[in-house]
Amino acid sequence: MVVAISGSSGLIGTHLRRKFTEKGWVIVELKRNDFLLPDEDFVPKLINADVIVNLAGAPVSKRWTSIHKKEMRDSRLITTAKIVKSIDLLNDKPRLLISASAVGIYEAEKQHTETSTDYSRDFLGRLCQDWEREASRVHSDTRLIIARIGVVLDREKGALPSMIKPFKYGLGGKIHTGKQSFPWVHVEDVVASFLYFIENESTSGIYNITAPQQIDNLLLTKTICRFLKKPAFFRVPKLVLKITFGEGAGMILNAPSVIPERLLDSGYRFKYLTIKSALKDLIGS
């Protein structure tokens, strides 16, 4: 099996490389500079690929300046468009394209399955829609999975280490009211779901990659406190988030509730069903 991966050095990409290597698969890493190549030099990188996993994208967890917002768009739309165009130019198409998206596509403060079309009209929502639109142009000979991924929890990278750091010093607390949804997923379930897509040819289309348990920030806070054995006396005000992230604070203050209905209905079995089981693995004992 030959798998080409864009965004291979990121949180999900790093875990996928490790798992695919364990299985003896050949990995082709598509680097940022590769996407600057002319088509005649880029297309050969995909010639032997059975599967392409498209994860490229500038991080959303920093202040959304106008410059960074452009980087967020370009890093997703240009790379996806180039992959799709290159697949079209190949004589032997890859069997599968897994293209990342995010639960930020959904309107906040509502509950969503994959059938929902209540999309957010903010910057992230529009970006996700455009991102998916580029992926959907892939040649019909290549099966397409669009993975709408929630907040990925990992012990070393991503959101969790920065979230728990204040708690370790006794400075942790809920964010704003604590009532906002937190659509999470353990990184091992992200990797396992991608393997499930690769190995099950009956899967196609849009899938929410989130854990089945719906939680809010308050439950997350209480669970972190339990495993770190630390109190949570503080509250992170809305103003602090807006100063730190600018427009990007909205994705923290107003998040959707997201159900992985299609994964569950297809027979996929989550390893980490609850935030308690996930955090026990990642930070507890």
- The CATH number of the domain holding residue 123 is 3.40.50.720
Q: Is residue 236 part of a domain?
A: no
Please tell me the total count of domains within the chain: 1
CA distances from 142 to 5, 9, 26, 145, 201 (A): 16, 25, 19, 10, 11
pLDDT given for residue 252 in this prediction: 74
Q: Is residue 171 part of a domain?
A: yes
Share of the chain above pLDDT 70, in %: 95
Q: Is residue 235 part of a domain?
A: no
pLDDT given for residue 233 in this prediction: 75
pLDDT given for residue 285 in this prediction: 60
pLDDT given for residue 191 in this prediction: 98
> What residues make up the domain containing 68?
2-216+246-282
pLDDT given for residue 3 in this prediction: 98
Q: Give the integer Cα–Cα distance in Å for 189 and 192.
A: 5
Stretches where the chain sits below pLDDT 50 are none
Q: Are strands 173-175 and 111-112 parallel, antiparallel or unpaired?
A: unpaired
pLDDT given for residue 241 in this prediction: 66
Q: Is residue 146 part of a domain?
A: yes
pLDDT given for residue 249 in this prediction: 63
Q: Are 11 and 157 in contact (CB under 8 A)?
A: yes
